[in-house]
């Protein structure tokens, strides 16, 4: 029989599980606190649980973990972690230091099947989705190794969050639960390449998170050249879903736009983007491309990036140029994992 992944259980689920084992319900609260607040990694450390109960937990459950196996630290304090999962697969987690606190960017899948042409994460396709506990563990492990509290979480690492929908939604609920790390949903951002059906589901969940859309092009033709997912959903469908998302949740949507030299960074693209987003309560995040060997494109010239922003401003579209953090390490998602797979870092 497969051992139960107790770290992926919500508190009510854990209570039910504990009662099935013949224990008192309040033990679930203690167990939950050890796993999600004290962040211990072994049942033997849970000193207020009866020895008999601990023994059963050791026999019948698994304590999923993420083990940090490599750490790169950039001059600006950005740390990139290579994490090993219990089955030997590896993923990446990034910790960025801002004046308002520590942000952690987590992976949601091992690999990705979306195939965006410029992205390193998608090179070997999708291996598997992460469990809820594996997503939580990335944050817990960062707190353990840095000794600092995490205040913001972004789902922008390897993988497509809405392609792992149920686990991602449960992860958000558990991460923001007062019995866990209690990270405010307002400080959690989910980034998607634009799976419209997933966006429609997400707006019904009653979550106060920020939705970020990887748009990268103002028109479908150009977008299809950059992102295969554009063959499934049109930009009009995405914008329509975003308007509804805002109406339903009151949360301003972010559009990510990675600038690729000579591809999508012209004045005409900026004007088209401004027209597309006109009147929308949104924010545009301009990301100068992080070029990946063997993948599409070079980084936009600085002057073009600034010009692009200026045009958006002229049309009163809010935007920021993403601070390039950790550019002296393998910052683009998937790069460190790919290197590791190729044996370069061993």
How far apart, in whole angstroms, are the C-alpha atoms of residue 60 and residue 74?
41
Stretch that binds ligand SAH, among 75-83, 133-141, 186-194, 303-311 (CB under 6 A): 186-194
Of 3-11, 29-37, 44-52, 187-195, which part binds ligand SAH (CB under 6 A)?
A: 187-195
Q: Looking at 72, 192, 304, 338, which residue binds ligand SAH (CB under 6 A)? A: 192
Buried b (16+ CB within 10 A) or exposed e, 259-284: bbbebbbeeebbbbbbebbeebebbb
CA 85-87-89 angle, to 5 degrees, is 60
How many residues appear in the chain?
Answer: 346
Is residue 284 within the footprint of ligand SAH (CB under 6 A)? no
Binders in 3-62 for ligand SAH, by CB under 6 A: none
137 binds ligand SAH (CB under 6 A): no
Strands 4-5 and 61-62: parallel
14 phi and psi, to 5 degrees?
-70, -35
Judged by CB under 6 A, which of 273, 333, 338, 340 binds ligand SAH? 333
Please tell me whether residue 133 binds ligand SAH under the rule CB under 6 A.
no
Q: Which is nearer to ligand SAH, 49 or 292 (CB)?
A: 292
- Residue of 138, 176, 249, 290 interacting with ligand SAH (CB under 6 A): 290
State yes or no: residue 289 binds ligand SAH (CB under 6 A).
yes
Residues in 200-229 that interact with ligand SAH by CB under 6 A: 214
Residue 339, classed as helix, strand or coil, is: helix
Dihedral sign, CA of 332, 334, 337, 341? negative
Nearer CB in complex with ligand SAH: 23/92: 92
Cβ pair 284, 315 in contact under 8 A: no
User: Where do contacts with ligand SAH occur on this chain (CB under 6 A)?
Assistant: 114, 116, 118-119, 156, 160, 191-193, 214, 256, 258, 287, 289-290, 292, 332-333
């Amino acid at each position: 029989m497969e051992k139960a992944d107790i770290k992926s259980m919500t508190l009510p689920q854990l209570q039910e599980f504990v009662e099935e084992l013949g224990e008192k319900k309040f033990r679930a609260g203690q167990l939950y606190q050890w796993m999600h607040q004290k962040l211990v990694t072994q049942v033997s450390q849970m000193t207020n649980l009866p020895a008999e109960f601990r023994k059963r937990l050791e026999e019948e459950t698994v304590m999923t973990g993420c083990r940090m196996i490599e750490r790169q630290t950039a001059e600006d304090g950005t740390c990139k972690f290579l994490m090993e999962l219990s089955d030997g697969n590896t993923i990446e987690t990034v910790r960025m230091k801002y004046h308002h606190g520590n942000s952690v960017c987590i992976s949601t899948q091992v690999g990705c099947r979306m195939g965006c042409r410029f992205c390193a994460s998608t090179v070997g396709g999708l291996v598997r989705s992460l469990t809820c506990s594996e997503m939580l563990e990335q944050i817990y492990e960062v707190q353990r190794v840095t000794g600092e509290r995490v205040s913001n979480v972004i789902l922008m690492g390897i993988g497509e969050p809405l392609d792992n929908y149920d686990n991602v939604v449960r992860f958000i609920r558990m991460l923001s639960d007062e019995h866990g790390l209690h990270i405010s949903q307002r400080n959690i951002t989910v980034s998607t390449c634009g799976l419209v059906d997933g966006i429609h589901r997400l707006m019904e969940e009653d979550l106060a998170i920020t939705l970020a859309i990887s748009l990268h092009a103002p028109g479908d033709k150009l977008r299809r050249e950059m992102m295969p997912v554009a063959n499934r959903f049109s930009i009009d469908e995405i914008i329509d879903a975003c308007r509804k998302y805002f109406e339903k949740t009151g949360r301003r949507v972010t559009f990510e736009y990675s600038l690729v030299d000579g591809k999508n960074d012209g004045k005409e693209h900026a004007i088209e983007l401004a027209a597309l987003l006109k009147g929308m309560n949104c924010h545009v995040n301009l990301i100068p491309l992080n070029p990946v060997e063997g993948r599409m494109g070079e980084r936009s010239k600085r002057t073009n990036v600034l010009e692009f922003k200026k045009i958006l401003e002229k049309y009163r579209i809010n935007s920021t140029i993403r601070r390039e953090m950790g550019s002296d390490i393998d910052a683009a998602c998937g790069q460190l994992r790919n290197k590791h797979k190729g044996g370069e870092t061993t």
